[in-house]
Structure 1
Amino acid sequence: MGKKLRLLGLIVIASLIMQISGHVEFTNVKCESLDKTFSDFEYCYIKAINRSYKYVSIKVNLFKTPVTKVKVNFLVMKRFNGYRPFLYNITVDACKFIENPNRNPIAHYLSDLFLPYTNLVHKCPYNHSLIMDKLPIDHINNQFTNVLPFPTGDYALCTSWMAYDINRANIKVFLTLS
């Protein structure tokens, strides 16, 4: 009787732990080109295939190629009476980072949120359109709940893309972790 009761208790605890695990949802995406003579967004959207499968796709066309000097600022914000910086605000030289991604573990984690779904994974120069194709919510959910667990709440993942030390574009992806 005691062994059966302990086993039942373990099953109940395991099911509660599985219910506690977080779930991430995309809520919005905003893309802003700050220099339309340099680059502009062809598309930037969230698409919901069904209730559980959503993805983000973005395509930016570059008009002054090749681009040989790129920096990216990653900022994670959490909503506390408005969005406030949370945990990470880091700027990396994208050209050097692509050559050696392990040199900065924080930048490596943040770039892993989207890099596997882009055509940015090669050395500079960039002389083509930049595409993030069908970044699935499952990938972001894994990064935010398993790789590095975040507390529940509303988040904004903000990136500023600089070419030749001039801010050219901003991308903000809003999500909820519940």
Structure 2
Amino acid sequence: MKFTVNTVFGLLLMALELNGDIVTRHTNVKCEIYDKLYFEVVTCRLKVLGRGIIGENIHIKVLQLPIRNATVNFGVYKKLSGYHPFLFNVTLDFCQFMRHPNPLSVFYLFFKALRPYSNLNHTCPFNVSNHDIILKDFVLADLMYAKIPFPKGSYMFMIKVATEGVWRGVINAYFDINVDNNPNIRF
């Protein structure tokens, strides 16, 4: 990937827009399964863990095993007049990523933040019975955004999952950055 002067200048402007401390907050999570014979959503919700602390909980039951290959499409969208693509949209072979994680990829930074809260800790094939995909009490830490500058606003992480070359479902996680310091975001 080539970095041009405009790209570096744009990232610098976004970094300068972050005035003071970063404050993040989950606002919503939606799970949609395209193939109900393959996956089943048990839990897909936000949970208040404490004062100002919101945890994301996702529990997806795998109905057809084994899973020999998996593809993940990860995108970040910013809310302007609707959600529009913002900075990243990456598609990768998840099985290859689990065997050889690339610390220089964007997906690695986000997966590293999710990993302590999930049970995604082994490579393909997934063939253990009752192997559900679980993300429990995932809290957005403000330090997660230290390496990647995000300007103030509302965002959506979209994670689409495909197995055997067929798209099976999508998870949309919505969050806000600097909600306490931004007068344009109201609840």
Relative to the length of structure 2, the TM-score reads: 0.79
Tell me which residue corresponds to 1:48. 48
Tell me which residue corresponds to 1:36. 36
Give the deviation of 1:117 after TM superposition. Answer: 1.5
Tell me which residue corresponds to 2:136. 133
Name the count of aligned residue pairs: 157
Question: What is the CA–CA distance in structure 2 between the aligned matches of 1:50 and 1:116, rounded to whole Å?
Answer: 19
Tell me which residue corresponds to 1:93. 93
Say if 1:41 and 1:60, in contact at 8 Å, map to a contact too: yes
Question: What is the CA–CA distance in structure 2 between the aligned matches of 1:98 and 1:92, rounded to whole Å?
Answer: 11
Tell me which residue corresponds to 1:143. 144
Question: What is the CA–CA distance in structure 1 between the aligned matches of 2:170 and 2:120, rounded to whole Å?
Answer: 16
Tell me which residue corresponds to 2:77. 77
Structure 1 unpaired stretches of 5+: 1-18
Question: What is the CA–CA distance in structure 2 between the aligned matches of 1:147 and 1:103, rounded to whole Å?
Answer: 13
Say if 2:103 and 2:109, in contact at 8 Å, map to a contact too: no
Question: What is the CA–CA distance in structure 2 between the aligned matches of 1:37 and 1:98, rounded to whole Å?
Answer: 25
Say if 2:74 and 2:160, in contact at 8 Å, map to a contact too: yes
> Is 2:111 the counterpart of 1:111?
yes
2:53 maps to amino acid: Y
Which protein has the bigger helix share? 1
Supply the RMSD in Å over aligned alpha carbons. 1.4
Give the deviation of 1:104 after TM superposition. Answer: 5.0
Question: What is the CA–CA distance in structure 1 between the aligned matches of 2:49 and 2:102, rounded to whole Å?
Answer: 35
Question: What is the CA–CA distance in structure 1 between the aligned matches of 2:110 and 2:102, rounded to whole Å?
Answer: 12
1:82-107 CA deviation, whole Å, 9 max, x = no partner?
A: 11000000001000001111265222
Q: 1:154 to 1:49 in 2, by over 3 A?
A: same
Say if 1:71 and 1:92, in contact at 8 Å, map to a contact too: yes
Tell me which residue corresponds to 1:59. 59
Relative to the length of structure 1, the TM-score reads: 0.83
Q: Identity rate of aligned residues, in percent?
A: 30
Tell me which residue corresponds to 2:159. 159
SS of residue in 1 equivalent to 2:123: coil
Tell me which residue corresponds to 1:16. none
